[in-house]
Amino acid sequence: MTELEDRLRTAFRTRADDIPAVAPPLELPHRVGTDSVLRRGADRVGPLIRKRWLAPAAAAAAVLGLVAGLFAASSAPRTVPAAPIQMSIPRYYVALDSNRPPSSYPEPVAYATVRETATGAVLARIKPPSPYNSFVAVSGAADDRTFALLAMGPTDPFTQVTPERFFLLHIDPTATSVAARVRLAALPADDIPGGDTAGSAPPNQVDTMSLSPSGTSLAAILTVNGADLLYLYNLATGTTRTWIRKCAGCRPDDLTYAIENPDVATLSWASNGKTLAFMIGVAIGPTQLRLLHLGAPGDNVQPDSTPFDIHSPVAAWNQAVMTPDGKSVFVSFNFTRGSLPRPAVNASLMRYSVATGRVTRINTLPLILEGGHAGGYSNSGPQIADTILWTSYNGSKVIVADAAPGHAVGVYSGGTYTPLHWPADAIGAAW
């Protein structure tokens, strides 16, 4: 399939809902008069009746041309996501390679590397532009070519100001030169309020972020003046929208209270880009995953979202990720069995059906305790046990970090775990 055919297919899918199921009635004028219309962007005029006939005919011809180029168009669903549907593991990914083994303290300095999933081969290496010295988070779109990066600079020891900025990365893995394989563009500095070098933002102001499957929007949870805000940046128009959680008994940090580790993504998009799943936590009570309806009015995530009906055996979760088709949710959490001085601490990854609540256990791992009483699986540092890095459209395949002894990444598919080539000192990655 050519690039033009691919673009036509995407355009047709995007506007599929705009095509009425029944053709509208044909409106004929009572008489042919001298009415005329001016074509936009042109100097020619024509009779109104001619425009009324030609516009539907041209539209029909365009639709027929698109339909002829589609595979199995007659059996396609009425509503098709604009973003590509990923059923197989993406061919490329972007990893954040640190300058020392991963750990929580001190924060490692990381560059971004474009890699082949099958071999781990490095195709390009990207250094953060000054004054930023490290990339600390990455998120990918469904085209396997577009990624969002969060860059951070050193914290000023006197003012405690940490410069932060979003970047958009486009990759062309087939380019003949290394320089042509990547294109890095800085997003506006005011996308992170007070996060630029002239601001007064505290360290780690961006708690989590997620690029939409279409690569046209970036969602992030930011802490601004002690309160959590869910930001949505439209990368095409430059506009932003903000939500906050307001309800009886809500805390100002409810949106980040559930985030055990800032480097673990807790925002997940539906493939159509119309809904966004986010986690909330409270001081007393269970973690909750809610679905934000982005077309809803207002700036309060509470009435603009609905909770998922998930009954977990553990109240506090490490991560919850919705699959792009919106039908499943993966939840990871820790649980303890036994008593001091040597309790058995484990991590568990489960999959829930959104429609039925049915649960499937994916993995249960013994964690590393202080003193090394259990071995093999880390629950500290940028990657924790069973961190989900990517899921296919329907969740049939998931890429999970630290689901095997050591700092490892692999794929779960049909109950089978397959390890992937993985840089030893990576602090994160996105497919």
Indicate whether 130 and 193 sit together in one domain: yes
Please count the structural domains in the chain: 2
The answer on pLDDT for 99 being more than 80 is no
Q: What pLDDT is recorded for position 47?
A: 31
**Cα dist from 152 to 135, 201, 207, whole Å:** 6, 12, 12
Contacts of 31 (CB under 8 A, 6+ apart): none
3-state SS of 283-297 is: CCCCCEEEEEECCCC
Indicate whether 112 and 246 sit together in one domain: yes
**Among residues 16, 42, 75, which one ends one of the domains?**
75
Sheet containing strand 344-353, strands side by side: 319-322, 328-337, 344-353, 359-366
Q: What pLDDT is recorded for position 418?
A: 93
Q: What pLDDT is recorded for position 15?
A: 46
Cα separation of 143 and 214, whole Å?
7
Q: What pLDDT is recorded for position 283?
A: 58
- Residue 81 Rama label (left phi>0; alpha psi -120 to 50; beta): beta
The whole-model pTM stands at 0.75
The answer on pLDDT for 57 being more than 80 is no
In degrees, to the nearest 5, what angle opens at C-alpha 315 toward C-alphas 397 and 206? 70
Q: What pLDDT is recorded for position 365?
A: 73
Q: What would the pLDDT profile of 396-415 be if each residue is shown by its tens digit?
A: 999 998 777 667 899 999 87
**Among residues 31, 46, 75, which one ends one of the domains?**
75
Indicate whether 312 and 381 sit together in one domain: yes
Indicate whether 266 and 185 sit together in one domain: yes
Indicate whether 71 and 204 sit together in one domain: no
Q: Quickly count: other Cβ atoms within 10 Å of residue 243's Cβ.
A: 24
The answer on pLDDT for 67 being more than 80 is no
The answer on pLDDT for 382 being more than 50 is yes
Cα separation of 114 and 419, whole Å?
19
Assigned domain for 81 exists: no
Q: What pLDDT is recorded for position 39?
A: 31
Q: What pLDDT is recorded for position 340?
A: 62
Assigned domain for 390 exists: yes
The DSSP code sequence of 355-396 is TT--EEEEEEEEPPPTTSSS-S---SSSS-TTEEEEE-TTSS
Q: What pLDDT is recorded for position 207?
A: 87
Indicate whether 397 and 344 sit together in one domain: yes
Q: What would the pLDDT profile of 291-304 be if each residue is shown by its tens digit?
A: 999 999 989 999 99
% of the chain at pLDDT higher than 70: 67
Indicate whether 96 and 70 sit together in one domain: no
**175 or 368, which is more confident?**
175
Indicate whether 296 and 393 sit together in one domain: yes
Assigned domain for 87 exists: no
Indicate whether 173 and 273 sit together in one domain: yes
The answer on pLDDT for 384 being more than 90 is no
**328 or 153, which is more confident?**
328
Assigned domain for 178 exists: yes
Mean pLDDT, residues 390-397: 96
Assigned domain for 85 exists: no
Q: What would the pLDDT profile of 4-44 be if each residue is shown by its tens digit?
A: 444 444 444 444 444 444 444 433 334 333 333 323 333 32
Q: Quickly count: other Cβ atoms within 10 Å of residue 175's Cβ.
A: 13
Mean pLDDT, residues 177-187: 93
The answer on pLDDT for 218 being more than 60 is yes
**249 or 214, which is more confident?**
214
The answer on pLDDT for 196 being more than 80 is no
pLDDT bracket for residue 112 (50, 70, 90): very high
Mean pLDDT, residues 197-203: 48
**Among residues 47, 75, 103, which one ends one of the domains?**
75
Structural domain boundaries enclosing 140: 92-430
Assigned domain for 82 exists: no
Q: What pLDDT is recorded for position 11?
A: 47
Average pLDDT over the chain reads: 75
**320 or 346, which is more confident?**
320
Indicate whether 17 and 162 sit together in one domain: no
The answer on pLDDT for 92 being more than 60 is yes
Q: What pLDDT is recorded for position 78?
A: 37
Mean pLDDT, residues 318-336: 91
**52 or 292, which is more confident?**
292
What the block records as the tokens of 335 is 């649980």
Q: What is the CATH classification number for the domain harbouring 387? A: 2.120.10.30
SS3 assignment, position 205: coil
Q: What pLDDT is recorded for position 282?
A: 63
The answer on pLDDT for 76 being more than 60 is no
The answer on pLDDT for 148 being more than 50 is yes
Q: Quickly count: other Cβ atoms within 10 Å of residue 73's Cβ.
A: 12
% of the chain at pLDDT higher than 90: 39
pLDDT bracket for residue 342 (50, 70, 90): low
Assigned domain for 86 exists: no
Q: What pLDDT is recorded for position 381?
A: 52
Indicate whether 52 and 113 sit together in one domain: no
- The answer to whether 209 and 229 have CB atoms below 8 angstroms apart is no
Sign of CA dihedral 106, 112, 113, 117: positive
> Burial of 345 by CB count in 10 Å (0-12 exposed, 13-18 middle, 19+ buried)?
buried
The answer on pLDDT for 70 being more than 50 is no
Indicate whether 105 and 168 sit together in one domain: yes
Q: Quickly count: other Cβ atoms within 10 Å of residue 129's Cβ.
A: 12
Assigned domain for 80 exists: no
DSSP structural state of residue 44: -
